[in-house]
Amino acid sequence: MTRPIPNTPSEAACWRRDAVQPLIDVYAGEPDVEAVMLSGSAARGNADRWSDAEIGVFWSRPPAEDERRRLALAGGMRDAHIFPLYEPEAVWCDDIYLGGPIGSGLLVEVVHAETVATEKALADVFDDHDPDPAGLNRAQGVVDGIAYHGQELLAGWKRRAAAYPRELAVAVVERAGVIDHFWRWEMYAERRNPAMLAQHFAAVCERVVMMLLALNRRYGPNLKWLPTIAASLDHAPPGLADRIGTVFASEPDVAATLLTDLVRETFDLVEAGLPEADVDRLRRVFGHRRLPLDELPAS
């Protein structure tokens, strides 16, 4: 079983929980708000001095921009960016700053959503096993969340999230594990393009972590908290976080070898834990190398 991230709150997490309490109280007092939760690192308890705070507000109807601004002001907003509906995820996002000069202070990322739309999005993950990262992120928000209002509703979501479907793990692995064009690291190195090389290697690292999260029945979070996440995984290549760090401190050919080893070890773990996943296909895709013209065999 995967070990949970320790939830003995850091001092930074406790401070953030206290700081956002007036804002949470305002949202919870709105008649058409059915639930309010704190999520992210402040809820998990591992926030540090760089951390923002994340709040989910779930409505019985679409919230209007003017009332979102009014509620933010009532909750102590110093400055804010109020965004329109983000249609791909059916959410409204507010970046609210508490305290400090304009554009500074504690950033509180507030995500507003209709309850019915959230339940549909969670069903896509839990029932239809959709491996889309946005859905996984929403599910992780539920797992992390501390309920301040609508506890019964949020508790039901948490119960569903706790039963991570095996079919979802397979779907995530088969999506994240398609690591194609790995050979391009040689091209970027030969062209002396360190920016693209680093981006290329980072994308592979992210896919490795996504596969391991699925194998360990975890929705997220991703690379942002790599050492903490890596330490909490029962099924992972040994020394995962340190080895990823070494990739980016090494010469390109050494880095590529280190990363190749990590990918192959991850495929082996997935094959053992989720034998129904098509790992052979993933290995073939990863192992393909397109030869430059001057290396092609003579016809």
Neighbour count for residue 31 (Cβ, 10 Å): 6
Give residue 221's pLDDT: 79
Measuring CA to CA, which residue among 19, 186, 211, 12 is closest to residue 96? 19
Res 2: pLDDT: 36
| Residues 37, 269 contacting (CB under 8 angstroms) | no
d(CA 158, CA 184): 41
Q: What per-residue confidence (pLDDT) applies to 7? A: 58
pTM, whole model, 2 decimals? 0.91
pLDDT of residue 232: 92
The confidence score (pLDDT) of residue 298 equals 73
Per-residue pLDDT, 96: 95
Position 4 scores a pLDDT of 42
Q: Which long-range contacts (CB under 8 A, 24 or more apart) does 156-161 make?
A: 157/118, 157/119, 157/122, 160/122, 160/126, 161/122, 161/126, 161/219
Q: What confidence tens digit (pLDDT) does each residue in 250-263 have?
A: 999 999 999 999 99
Residue 18 burial (CB < 10 Å; 0-12/13-18/19+)? exposed
* Regions of the chain with pLDDT less than 50: 1-6
